Structure 1
Amino acid sequence: MIPRDQHPVSRQFISNNALKVLYRLNKGGYEAYLVGGGVRDILLGLTPKDFDIVTNATPEQIKGLFRNCRLIGRRFRLAHIVFGRDIIEVATFRGHHDDTSGKNTKISKQSDQGMLLRDNIYGSIEEDAERRDFTINALYYSTQDFKVYDFAGGVHDIEQRKIRLIGDPETRYREDPVRMLRAIRFATKLDMTISPETQAPIKPLASLLSNIPAARMFEEFLKLFVSGKAQANFNLLREYDLFEHFFPAVERALCANDNFSLEESELMTQFIAKALDNTDIRIANDQRVTPAFLFASILWFPLQKRIETLKANSDILPQDAFFQAYHELMSEQQQSVAIPKRFQLPIKDIWILQERFEKRDPKRAFKTLEHPKFRAGYDFLLLRAEFGDDQIKELAKWWTEFQDASSSTQSQMLKTTGRANPHRKVRRKRRPNKKAASE
């Protein structure tokens, strides 16, 4: 127990809504603590974003105290206290799986690989701390005595900037393989290193991620790639053989399989790295980012390779080749990461626009400029131009100038491009019928 005068955690750093929940639980006769990231971030001198709370009240008892409460989850039963758009998550102290005291009305359930499928075992705060994943997340703050409770040496690991699992690492990873991803995410987010014993089982157990539902993998993708540390997470995921469980086709290509040459794989690595780096910069500048652009960038090279293969092995039309390759690639990708439809359609639009950019006759050029996803497609064209040939660079330069040009300049650009475009169909004037003319 760390007394108030020996730690920086204070109510001034905790949201008013979180404080309301803590106070009401205490007033109702229950223990209640701020736990995990909120305490950890304050100790690190960061501004906390999440305020999770634990208590000895059961989910049903919590619901009885709060009219604005909804219970969620089957694997972990949680209470969400809703304050408009702000949600405070409250969990009951977790107990051990081998509890035979008869206190728990629901038991835990595990798969053959040791993964927890259901876990509503309730216990004490000490047991709850042992059930936490990392030491830096097993920190509790009480608004009753203002002490920080450190059960696993989390404060020491924060000082040493170490990510360390509580308990046997292999067992903890088998319980929930996503902890391997969380170890990487915390290491990059907090600028820490993963302790040797915590990182040792990751590669041998990487295949366990294949048991994680594709919908949950999408949520993990967002946390890893749309949080400002995409480039660093990409590097560590590949280092620990975890990236292939997000993008199997991409990993094969990066390893120079699936008919990819070493040069193509290297170019693809640089292309993805640049897309991730651009995303990190935009997030750092508080600019908007969309997962659709990242998916389009990461999957671009495998898509092009499939289109090339289809064209080489049949007389298929270019448009048909695109759609067949698109459906094959996305069907395979959905098995690993369930990309919602709201992102699938923009991905397709970004890719389709790349072909439309090449058609610069007046009617099509203005139609392309008015496309709802023009900006995303144009940004993608700029990315391609950084690694493409002179033709792609010229195309990107043309669209950069065209979209901001005056109407007269646009008309002149279209005339010039039209004459220089070898693919442009030239309409020939029909010769007058000599017989009709003589009559």
Structure 2
Amino acid sequence: MVVEWIKRWLPQRANGSALVSIPRDKHSISRKDISHNALKVLYRLQNAGYEGYLVGGCVRDLQLGLKPKDFDVATDATPEQVRKLFSNSRLIGRRFRIVHVTFGREIIEVTTFRGRADDGEADPNQQKQSDEGLLLRDNVYGSLEEDAERRDFTVNALYYTPKDFSLQAYGTGLTDLDNRILRIIGDPETRYREDPVRMMRALRFAAKLDFDIDPATCNCIPELAPLLSHVAPARLFDEVLKMLMSGHGLSTWRKMREYNLVEPLFPETFAALKIDSDRYFEGFIEQALINTDDRINRGKPVTPAFLYAALLWPAVREDAEHRIDMGTPEQPAWQQAMSQVVSNQVRSIAIPKRFSIPMKEIWELQLRLPKRTPKRAEQLLGHPRFRAAYDFLLLRDSAGEKLGDLAQWWTDYQEQNPDKRATMAKDASPKRPRRRRRRRAPTEDQP
């Protein structure tokens, strides 16, 4: 076994910072499983005299026998040097300067080895921290071993090179991989303060890989969760999608609840869940994530608009019902609630308009679906968001909301021909009370 070989050869260093070199016959990574474009990048870097390694999650997944979604490269070349080697590349980022090398739809992300930034000698233009310890800028470069120490988790501090087909592993990286344990590198509180998103990544990896989290790695997360409020809302949008739209959304969400990450990310949803005595909202969100996981794992498309509509629905409904109780008419109450919840949410997580607009349309159609006159029903059926709104209606119904026959009616309506649909809509239309004809009062000439 690889781990047994590592135990025999692992250098016994007091600080545990050793990089262990594992030869080709002691690991399971093969070039045939690696992206051809990633190999191109590695070979060009090496031919130009630089070091080049596959790094992180792609190496981890290859060693686990999984198929990586993307491939990242680490090198001792600076971003500017990498940019000169690849005409099909561009520099991105300010906080972390990296290079994207583009091959059609595939992007190979190339990062320069990060160095130690805590020795007091770092250039303030290259490295900067906030008062809370958050790294605002980190472009201090270093060696391979220093880069490994700066990685987040031991199972991600893995490096593979086709130069001699060897695998470099940091400390207990492969042992943790074999034991299915997620362990942060360094002092957990310090690392989370440097980048609070690491807390989100810990829960995401644990859910995705079905790993246990090392107690020291997870015990401080509930206390430090409020640090996520210091992270850029746009970055949190992308990180939440990675957490909940990876095919393991339900288990990730449950870990978010367990480790108090819901409150800083979705404050109004958290408040609605807190007062949800019958746990309807919790069941609603979990059913939405079950459906999302199922679609992703079957290769079907999903949209962030639907997921965010589900995550924020408890807050919208609570707000609307409160406004109605305070005397606001139903339609304005719902419209005001939708606008207010979105306005508050984007302070925590920036939802792009290409998703927030269809999200609000899904909500608005929930108010229109009960109005089933022949004309309105046909208009709704032709609405570009009808299918998403219908799926949302089914979700509400399956979660136990009392909707009568509304969900089944719309299911049946779609399956009928136009004449039958007209009859169904006419039968479902609210019956107006018959107006009684007023009798004229008799005139003086009438008997």
> Do Structure 1 and Structure 2 share a fold, with TM-score over 0.5?
yes
SS of the aligned residue for 1:82 comes to: strand
RMSD: 2.1
Shift of 1:335: 0.9
The number of residue pairs the alignment matches comes to 422
Please give the alpha-carbon distance, in whole angstroms, between the structure 2 residues aligned to 1:9 and 1:428. Answer: 84
Deviation track 1:86-140 (CA, whole Å, cap 9, x = no partner) reads 11111111100135778x7953100101110000101110111111110011111
Please give the alpha-carbon distance, in whole angstroms, between the structure 2 residues aligned to 1:428 and 1:30. Answer: 92
SS of the aligned residue for 1:71 comes to: strand
- Give the alignment of 1:133-212 within 5 angstroms: 133-212=152-231
1:293–1:347 CA contact under 8 A, matched in 2: yes
Aligned twin of 2:324? 311
Bigger Cα displacement from structure 2, 294-303 vs 269-278 = 294-303
2:114–2:147 CA contact under 8 A, matched in 1: yes
Please give the alpha-carbon distance, in whole angstroms, between the structure 2 residues aligned to 1:82 and 1:426. Answer: 69
Shift of 1:388: 4.2
Q: Does 1:217 align with 2:229?
A: no
Bigger Cα displacement from structure 2, 318-327 vs 25-34 = 318-327
Change (3 A) 1:428 1:381: farther
Q: Does 1:299 align with 2:312?
A: yes
Aligned twin of 1:402? 413
1:129–1:152 CA contact under 8 A, matched in 2: no
Deviation track 1:371-409 (CA, whole Å, cap 9, x = no partner) reads 00000011111111224465x140111111111101221
Please give the alpha-carbon distance, in whole angstroms, between the structure 2 residues aligned to 1:429 and 1:230. Answer: 61
Please give the alpha-carbon distance, in whole angstroms, between the structure 2 residues aligned to 1:427 and 1:69. Answer: 74
SS of the aligned residue for 1:337 comes to: coil
Deviation track 1:48-77 (CA, whole Å, cap 9, x = no partner) reads 122111111111111111111111111111
Shift of 1:319: 2.1
Please give the alpha-carbon distance, in whole angstroms, between the structure 1 residues aligned to 2:166 and 2:272. Answer: 52
Deviation track 1:239-293 (CA, whole Å, cap 9, x = no partner) reads 111111121011112111xxx5x12xx1111111111111111111111111111
Please give the alpha-carbon distance, in whole angstroms, between the structure 2 residues aligned to 1:373 and 1:347. Answer: 9
Aligned twin of 2:25? 5
SS of the aligned residue for 1:402 comes to: helix
Q: Name stretches of at least 5 consecutive residues in structure 1 with no aligned partner.
A: 432-439
Equivalent AA in structure 2 for residue 360 of structure 1: R
Shift of 1:206: 1.1
Aligned twin of 1:364? 376
- Give the alignment of 1:71-110 within 5 angstroms: 71-99=91-119, 106-110=125-129
Aligned with residue 281 of structure 2, among 268, 271, 287: 268
Deviation track 1:160-197 (CA, whole Å, cap 9, x = no partner) reads 00000111111111110100000000001111011011
Aligned twin of 1:413? 424
Aligned twin of 1:252? 271
Change (3 A) 1:246 1:425: farther
Please give the alpha-carbon distance, in whole angstroms, between the structure 1 residues aligned to 2:203 and 2:145. Answer: 26
Shift of 1:322: 1.6
Aligned twin of 2:76? 56
Please give the alpha-carbon distance, in whole angstroms, between the structure 2 residues aligned to 1:351 and 1:320. Answer: 13
SS of the aligned residue for 1:338 comes to: coil
TM-score (norm 2): 0.90
1:58–1:92 CA contact under 8 A, matched in 2: yes
Shift of 1:360: 1.0
1:386–1:393 CA contact under 8 A, matched in 2: no
Deviation track 1:286-322 (CA, whole Å, cap 9, x = no partner) reads 11111111111122222122212212223x3322212
Q: Does 1:280 align with 2:293?
A: yes
TM-score (norm 1): 0.92
Please give the alpha-carbon distance, in whole angstroms, between the structure 2 residues aligned to 1:154 and 1:40. Answer: 9
Change (3 A) 1:171 1:311: same
Please give the alpha-carbon distance, in whole angstroms, between the structure 1 residues aligned to 2:248 and 2:93. Answer: 29
Change (3 A) 1:198 1:429: same
Please give the alpha-carbon distance, in whole angstroms, between the structure 2 residues aligned to 1:427 and 1:306. Answer: 38
Q: Does 1:16 align with 2:27?
A: no
Deviation track 1:19-54 (CA, whole Å, cap 9, x = no partner) reads 010000000011111111111111101011221111
Please give the alpha-carbon distance, in whole angstroms, between the structure 2 residues aligned to 1:188 and 1:427. Answer: 63
Equivalent AA in structure 2 for residue 295 of structure 1: Y
Q: Does 1:239 align with 2:251?
A: no
